[in-house]
Amino acid sequence: MKHDDLLHPDVDYADGAEEVVLSTLRSASDVSAGSAELAGAITNWETAYHFSPARLGLLAPLRLREGMRAVDIGCGTGVLTRALGEAGLDVLGIEGVPDRAAAARERCRDLDGVTIRQGTPAALADAGEHDLAILCGVLEYSTLYGDGPLPLLCDTADALAEDGVLVLAIENQLGLPYLLGDNEDHHGAPWIGLADYPRGGQRTWTRRTLTKLLADAGLTAQRWLLPYPDYKLPRVIVDAEVFDRPDAGELVDKLVRDPSHGSFGGYEGVSPARVLQSMAVAEGAGVATAPSFLVLAARNDKAITSTVRDDLAWLISGSRRPEWRRTRALDRELTLHTVSAGTRGTGEWLRQRTVDTEPLIPGRGLDSLLLDALRAGDTAELERLIRGWRDTCAGSARRLSTEDTRHPFLPGKDDVPVLDPDCLDVHPGNVIVRPDGLPVRVDREWEAGTGVDAELALLRALLEFTRELAATRAPHPFGDNASVRDILRELCLLAGLGLALHERFDELIDAEAALQEIVGGQPASRTAMLLRAQCDEPAVEPLWAIPGGLDTLRVDHARSAELESVRTWAHGREAELLAELDRQRAHVDDLTAQVRKAGEQAEDAERRAAANGVQANENRLRAELAEIELDTARGDLARKDQALGDAFGELSRLVAEASAVWRAQAESEAELGRLRDLLARTRARLDALESSTLVRRAHRTVWPAARLLRGARDLALGRPGEEPDGVLRRVGDRSPALGRLLAGRVGRAARQSAARDAGLRYDVNVPPPVAVGAGQVVEFNGWVLHAELPVRAVHLAVGGRFHEAQLGYHRADVARELRAAGVRAPEGTGIHVRVPVTEAGELPVRLRVELLDGTVLERSLEPLQVRPALDVSTVDGRWPGTGTRVCVCLATHNPDPDFLALQVDSLRRQEHDNWVCVISDDASRPDALAAIHELVDGDERFTVVANIDNAGFYRNFERALALAPADAEALALCDQDDVWDADKLSTLVARLDDPRVSLVYADMRLIDSAGEVIADSFWDRRRNQWHDLPSLLMLNTITGAASLVRADLVRDRVLPFPPGTASSFHDQWIGACALAFGAVSYVDSSLHSYRQHDGAVTGRRDDRLDDGLPRGRGLVALSLGRQGKLPPEKHAELDAVAVNELRRVSQFASTLLLRGAASSAPRWASDLTDLAAADHDMVALVRAVARSARTSAVDTAGADHRLLTAGLRWHALRRTRRRIPPLPPAPLS
């Protein structure tokens, strides 16, 4: 090793381990790269950075050739410098910290090709050209010890030969651990990089910024590699190209697993990084959020190709002893090649099997599936996976033999089976579940003697998995504070290993410690102690599980600061009182001494009493006075003690007052929120006052007076124009009959005016092709407006028949746009037309608009295409059993794979075996669709139909029913996340023996997302009913997922579904058809588990629907347009009820009438007729609701009253919204 004596400025930087490192290197006999002796000196993270052989993994992708010239800038204590020198390179190491430079010289003391120069990167100026330059963790400090990153990169580029390559290792400013709150390595604080380092100092950058910096330095050819968990101790390095592959998500998860596991310094993020990594990769942000970068940059691509290996990833086991180390490379054909491996002597019980090549098995790692189940809290799926893993690993179990070699993992228990020698490491991550569902073991690197104890091998795998689970803060259902041992116990119970763990835990720890001593070199006693401590340490509650999250922590921090302030004051006050007490005690001691002295004097005086009686009396008097003074001092001391007690009482009172202040603060915040709401309501009232009648009248009376007089004159003379039209509009608003009479005077002239025709504005949407079936209603929506006169009526001629449109629907968007163009557009320009159709074909459509003055304007629209049936082909049914042929119609959309698996498994367990299942998928994500196929692959009873358009659950169930085989006799609707009882189909099928029954449904138990029972019955807080059709149309009580319906009813009456609204539900329509054309039967027993969770589209609602709605006079006032007493939050609710629910009721009733319900169920003909008109005829609505309340004993939970309220309010609003707004006041002259 050469020593450069040039003097350069020192760099004032240290991590605190320099002195220990230098001393260790000087005393070490083996200072080689990856020295086991140095690795044994690791005691903390700082020494690990200087001595861990895992540091060398950073060089795995490089082609290091003997004779290359390299410079290691900021070489530290020479870890990489030494490795480059051992590879035969001529290396210059530059280090600015004197102790580190000395340590680097000591490490490279026996290498002639290595020169260590103490100095800053400015020393590059006279260092010559190099083929390779290393910047490992150095660029971050360029803002602190230099002129910034670009000058350093330019200096480094200048030191490279034309084909030289820069190797830049640096952390990512947007790395996943930093995004999740892990401490920034240079500042020791979370999220400071996301604030772009506001305090200055050392820093790092994003990929985009680094790319530009390198390019600005002339290094435009770049190859980006990503070390995990970081560049300091890498265990895997992945080429950024991997993230562009279609299988990137699966591949990265298998290679990297958790990107934070093993991070230098430990991981302190608020949530697990593995889940976020999967999301980032799926969204194309995997590279941008990698924890760190290893960038190879040069002036041309050829230089990079010659210096970097052409592989996709490198898996590095660098923390082991030299004889066990292994590095494997993943080539572009997804085959793993062993690049380097250690050799092991004979005579030991542990062997390492080296395989030159091994294909990467497609599929997901079992550890990833276990984490999914743990995150979902799905213990049933967790148990299934763990037991499947156990069976896979124990497939070759045999009995213990006397010839078996005994070792720590085969102590020789006669009652425990023995597994193959390569089952020492059966970690769930070493089991891949292929796309066909078959589990395959991979990476069988370790072999132990003639075999391993089955219990110890399985326990070891679960222990390692659990330690990773806890270290990465992965969520699980076993409690936020559960220790490693607690979680391990739960997993072992699921695997059937609970007793083994209880009896053999200490044996497991000792065996693992012995194994780690052989492989890693750590003393077994120390490893066992650390393992036991780690297993019993309670976990810290994750931030995402703390209610309130960061807000809670901020409040707690503020309160802690306040308490600390109170404590500081109390301690100061206590010190003052104690000092005063000490002074008083000293005073008492002085007085006691004086009393003692006075007593002695008194005794002397008594001895001289005979000679001088007066003197004795005087002395006694003095003693008594001293005694009195002493009593006084004692009283003062007692008072001081009382004062000290009072002070402590005051302290307690202050703490109580502080608590009261905090409570008062919370109440004040609540009061502030109430005042804000009051202010918002007051502002709304002021806004209403601004548009009140009084203000509007002020605008209408003064300035338009002359215009009204001229308009009245022109109207009397029969002259058309804007001003008489204005008078006509006003008269028409107040008296339609008088308006028509006056309009007749100018009607002839107006009808002949081209301006009338040109003033028509409209946009009416013709629906896409519809299926008619046994009769269908078609809904047309849009808007119509005339720029000059109010619209009296709108009709739509479809197939030659006119249908009157309902006017006054709210279209604020149209009004806003037209008013901006100068057109006086009312708020209610929207129209709605419901047209019945009974035959297929092309129907011409024509719009007819009648204005207030009698003018009729017409426009032709696009024809309506009507098809005879849905454009869906039935699937072929191969019935697997006997009895009633049942088709299960399962609708899916991005299902949770775990929930769907439980549902599918429950179908396969049905006692009634003559069923097939049609899965209609509603445009799920590719990964979700692939999971569905994987779940049912190989089971011919299932047919998956993937739809490319997302139609929503209402239309998707329609498609599912239409797909059912033509010879199916009954159809069962199925949700994607429920669980059926085994006797569900058999119980429901038996009810169809009654020919009158068209549909049968059962009760359901409610479960949460974790499978826990919430309620044993769906109807424990609601009244069930299946007899009254009008009530069923107002409030559904028949749940589709609990139903079985006759297939002929579905084909003849149910399909196609009505157009639907945002509140239309497939099961309500099916139930209404069953009740209108037959009978419904109910099974008073829970036959499946109905899951209630955030992702569910539907669920149970128990509250009354008419809470807070007016009755009696309030309802009459509402029908007259007076909405002042209606709570503000009810306006939006009633708008939605009128537009969606009331329209849906009328839509369903109209379709039932078209399909013959009046003849099949004449008792409900009048009800259906009124309900069909209820969305536009208030008399029919009132009659229907009144009849329902009078004749039906069914409680609709207030649905009927809510429909009535919404309808009356909507009708009044439609009248108001049709009024044309007045002209704005003319500007003053």
Q: What's the pLDDT score for residue 570? A: 65
SS3 1034: helix
Which residue in the block uniquely carries the two structure tokens 């999967």? 278
Q: Region 795-817: what's the mean pLDDT? A: 89
**Helix, strand or coil, per DSSP, at residue 175:** coil
Least confident of 102-111, 349-358, 447-456, 605-614: 605-614
pLDDT of residue 888: 96
User: Residue 788 — pLDDT band, cuts 50, 70, 90?
Assistant: confident
Pairing state between β 1013-1015 and 776-786: unpaired
**Does pLDDT of 640 surpass 60?**
no
- In whole angstroms, what is the distance from residue 805 CA to residue 796 CA? 7
Identify which of 60-74, 559-573, 780-794, 821-835 has the greatest average pLDDT.
60-74
Has this prediction a pTM greater than 0.85? no
Angle (nearest 5°) at CA 1199 between 1002 and 1143: 100
Cα separation, 833 vs 764, in Å, equals 10
| Beta bridge partners of residue 224, listed in sequence order | 295
> Of 41, 44, 102, 48, which Cα lies nearest the Cα of 77?
102
In the chain, helix, strand, coil percent, each to 5?
45, 20, 35
pLDDT at 879: 93
d(CA 1180, CA 1166) in angstroms, rounded, equals: 10
pLDDT score recorded for residue 1181: 85
Buried b (16+ CB within 10 A) or exposed e, 685-696: eeeeeeeeeeee
- 400-429: average pLDDT: 93
C-alpha–C-alpha distance, residues 727 and 1222, integer Å: 11
What gap in Å lies between CA 120 and CA 152, rounded to an integer? 10
For range 551-555, the mean pLDDT: 62
Which tokens sit at 360?
């990467």
Q: What is the CA radius of gyration of the chain?
A: 43
Write down the pLDDT at residue 711.
Answer: 65
Average pLDDT over residues 771-795: 91
Q: So what's the pLDDT on residue 1054?
A: 94
CB burial of 880-906 (b: ≥16 within 10 Å; e: otherwise) equals eeeebbbbbbbbbbbbbbbbbbbbbeb
Tens digit of each residue's pLDDT (9 = 90 or more) over 469-504: 888 888 888 887 889 999 999 999 999 998 899 999
Residue 816 banded pLDDT, cuts 50, 70, 90: confident
Give kind and range of the element (H or E) at residue 896.
none
Q: What's the CA gap between 225 and 353, in Å, rounded?
A: 29
The answer to whether the beta carbons of residues 210 and 293 sit under 8 Å apart is yes
Closest CA to 31 of 106, 97, 112, 100: 106
Using CA atoms, how far apart are residues 913 and 961, in angstroms rounded to an integer? 20
Q: Does position 885 have pLDDT exceeding 60, yes or no? A: yes
* Averaged pLDDT, 16-42: 89
Q: What is the model's pLDDT at position 546?
A: 63
Distance CA 1128, CA 1131 (A): 6
Calculate the CA dihedral of residues 1001, 1006, 1012, 1015 and round it to 10 degrees: -120
- Mean pLDDT to the nearest integer, 957-982: 94
**Per-residue model confidence (pLDDT) at position 346:** 47
Confidence of residue 78 (pLDDT cuts 50, 70, 90): very high
Q: For residues 1203 and 1145, is the Cβ–Cβ distance under 8 A?
A: yes
**pLDDT averaged over every residue in the chain:** 83
Give the tokens for residue 184: 């920034």
Q: Closest Cα partner for 808 from 301, 524, 498, 1175? A: 1175
Q: How confident is the model at residue 260 (pLDDT cuts 50, 70, 90)?
A: confident
Torsion angles phi and psi, residue 344, rounded to 5: -125, 135
* Cβ-Cβ contacts under 8 Å for 291 (sequence gap 6 or more): 171, 172, 175, 176, 177, 178, 226, 227, 228, 229, 230, 259, 260, 263
Q: Which stretch, 162-166, 523-527, 808-812, 870-874, has highest mean pLDDT?
A: 162-166
* Long-range interactions of 214-219: CB distance < 8 A, separation 24+: 214/153, 214/166, 214/168, 214/295, 214/297, 216/150, 216/153, 216/154, 217/150, 217/153, 217/154, 217/156, 217/157, 218/154, 218/157, 218/299, 219/153, 219/157, 219/166, 219/297, 219/298, 219/299
- Asked if 20 contacts 99 with a C-beta cutoff of 8 angstroms, the reply is no
| The pLDDT of residue 754 is above 80 | no
pLDDT for the residue 1025: 84
Query: For residues 1058 and 776, what is the distance between their CA atoms, to the nearest angstrom?
Result: 7
DSSP state of 964: S
Question: Between these two residues, 183 and 350, which has the higher pLDDT value?
Answer: 350
pLDDT class for 8, splitting at 50, 70, 90? very low
Neighbours of 187 (CB within 10 A): 14
Return the minimum-mean-pLDDT range out of 167-171, 340-344, 545-549, 639-643. Answer: 639-643
Contact between 441 and 392 (Cβ < 8 Å):
yes
The pLDDT of 79-95, averaged and rounded, is 95
Cα separation values, 739 from 468, 725, 752, Å: 83, 10, 19
Tell me what the mean pLDDT of segment 1156-1181 comes to.
85
CA pair distance 421, 401, nearest whole angstrom:
14
What pLDDT score was predicted for residue 89?
A: 95
Least confident stretch, 2-11, 851-860, 906-915:
2-11
**Burial class of residue 644 in the structure, from the number of CB atoms within 10 Å of its CB (0-12 exposed, 13-18 middle, 19+ buried):** middle
Q: Give the span between the Cα atoms of 947 and 951, in whole angstroms.
A: 9
Which range has the worst mean pLDDT, 432-436, 976-980, 1049-1053, 1187-1191? Answer: 1187-1191
Q: What is the pLDDT of residue 1208?
A: 85
- Please determine, for residue 855, whether its predicted confidence score (pLDDT) is greater than 50: yes
pLDDT digit string (tens) for 1032-1084? 898 888 999 999 999 999 999 999 999 988 888 999 999 999 999 999 999 99
Distance of CA 909 to the CA centre of its chain: 33
Given the DSSP bridges, would you call strands 915-922 and 997-1007 parallel, antiparallel or unpaired?
Answer: unpaired
Give the pLDDT confidence score for residue 702 in this predicted structure: 45
pLDDT of residue 818 exceeding 50: yes
* CB neighbour burial string for 512-523, b if at least 16 within 10 angstroms, e if fewer: bbbbbbbbbbbe
Query: Is the pLDDT reported for residue 385 higher than 50?
Result: yes
63-72, 467-476, 1123-1132 — which is least confidently predicted?
1123-1132
Residue 631 has pLDDT above 60, yes or no: no
Over range 974-992, report the average pLDDT: 94
Q: Rounded CA gap, 438 and 1062, in Å? A: 43
**DSSP per residue, 1154-1218:** HTTHHHH-GGGHHHHHHHHTTTT-HHHHHHHHHHHHHH-----TTHHHHHHHHHHHHHHHHHHHT
pLDDT for 720 beyond 60 = no
Share of the chain above pLDDT 70, in %: 80
Residue 6: the pLDDT is 41
Sequence-ordered alpha helix ranges (H) in 1103-1142: 1113-1119, 1129-1136
**What average pLDDT score do residues 154-173 get?**
94
Contact 796, 780 (CB under 8 A): yes
Other CB atoms closer than 10 Å to residue 150's CB: what's the count? 14
Average pLDDT over residues 708-724: 59
% pLDDT > 90, the chain:
48
What does the pLDDT average to over 170-177?
92
In whole angstroms, give the CA distance from residue 1144 to residue 1154.
15
Q: pLDDT tens across 652-710, in order?
A: 555 455 455 455 555 555 555 565 566 556 555 555 554 555 445 544 554 455 566 66
pLDDT for residue 1123: 67
Task: Give the mean pLDDT of 132-143.
Answer: 92
Supply the pLDDT for residue 178: 87
- pLDDT for residue 319: 86
φ, ψ of residue 269 in degrees (nearest 5)? -70, 165
Backbone angles phi, psi at 543, to 5 degrees: -60, -35
Maximum CA pair distance of the chain? 153
Mean pLDDT value of segment 536-561: 67
